[in-house]
Amino acid sequence: MACGKTADEDHPAIRRASEVLAAGGLVAFPTETVYGLGGDATCAAAVDAIYAAKGRPADNPLIVHLAGAERLTDLVTVPPVALRLAERFWPGPLTLVLPARKGLPGSLTRGLNTLAVRVPDHPVALALLRRSGLPVAAPSANRSGRPSPTTAEHVLQDLDGRLKLILDGGPCREGIESTVLDLSRDRPTLLRPGAIRREQLQEALGRTVRVPGVSEHSSPASPGTRYRHYTPQARVVLVDRDVSDTSIHGMIEHLTQLGSWAYLSVRRSTLVPPGVRVVHRQSASELTRCLFADLREFDRHGVKLILVDAVDDEEPVMDRLRRASSDRLSQEDFINLRLPEIVQRLRS
Ligand code: TXA
Ligand code: MG
């Protein structure tokens, strides 16, 4: 249902969506990051239905969305640092992992002793949360492993027939999912980079935020990072920032033999021959906002290989790109390999 960008609690679409949630049904709704697939977090059947609709691994827990920080203590223990971050960044793209209150349903905690919570910064999401009065469990509204949805149309592509209602509030502002910060351990730990940056968190906390090493990602503490993510049907290859335009031109000429491929570029100077599917993004932030939509659009055209220009490694979008990609080309590769060898590598 169309609900505009600023629906209030009395909007007919919001009323209908609240009824669906209250009856244990699933509703997709826009947030400032990506669209979420929401269900009543206190209803085991609704939570189970979310896992079934997404095809989500059973051990990967969900984020609970709230209208404000007031009801946090129903669900989690709230240390003072969490309150400080909540005051500073909520509503906003920050998820906090906190110690779960005893007695929460196992369908929600998935065997962990923590729970992830956030207050989204989107009028439609907030209207729905206020109207329903429920804590709403909501993962991104995509089939598991696919790029997250940033429009209602993307939700429909993945979940048509698997949910009751989609609230269409237009494209999402941020384009990638929230920052996930674990406050349940000795030291604050960044489980997923997002629009709220590590430096902002450190500044607000007055202490360093850890970034887990690769090996820790397989631990139960950050279940979501274990799975393959954000994958379009095509093979995604990152092109390092140090790769020269000359090397790129050479590669593109050799790639023309290679059927359906595309180039997602942030380079201004790259001249691409006609016939190549190229999408130019002006900046890291435009790349971030449009990435998931671009990946889906390439899929729609049956693209088999996507080259993507890397941006600064500190940009949160690079986390998504590293996980979506299966190879990364650097200038050194162009020095060590002949172009046909590079093309061969891109093919395999
Ligand atoms: O921006 C967002 O966060 C979006 C919108 C809809 O709010 N939601 C979202 O949910 O991205 P999802 O389920 O796609 O990603 C949640 C991430 C997963 O990586 C999951 O493993 C992690 O948060 N997570 C959830 N609960 C956790 C917990 N108790 N401990 C550690 N990680 C947790
Ligand atoms: Mg997701």
How far does the centroid of ligand 2 lie from the alpha carbon of residue 148, in Å? Answer: 6
Give tens-digit pLDDT for 108-125. 999 999 999 999 999 999
Residues with CB under 6 A from ligand 1: 31, 33-34, 36, 60-63, 95, 97, 112, 114-116, 120, 138-140, 177-178, 180, 191-192, 222-224
213 or 245: which leads in pLDDT: 245
- The minimum-distance atom of ligand 1 relative to the CA of 115 is 29
- The minimum-distance atom of ligand 1 relative to the CA of 118 is 7
Report pLDDT for 232: 72
How far does the centroid of ligand 2 lie from the alpha carbon of residue 344, in Å? Answer: 32
Give tens-digit pLDDT for 27-83. 999 999 999 999 999 999 999 999 999 999 999 999 999 999 999 999 999 999 999
Q: Where are the beta strands (DSSP E) in the chain?
A: 27-29, 36-40, 63-65, 94-99, 114-118, 136-137, 165-166, 179-182, 189-192, 235-239, 261-265, 277-280, 305-309, 327-329
229 or 264: which leads in pLDDT: 264
pTM of the model: 0.95
Report pLDDT for 4: 79
In degrees, to the nearest 5, what angle opens at C-alpha 86 toward C-alphas 81 and 89? Answer: 120
Report pLDDT for 268: 75
How far does the centroid of ligand 2 lie from the alpha carbon of residue 93, in Å? Answer: 14
Rounded Cα distance between 110 and 64, Å, is: 13
Rounded Cα distance between 147 and 40, Å, is: 24
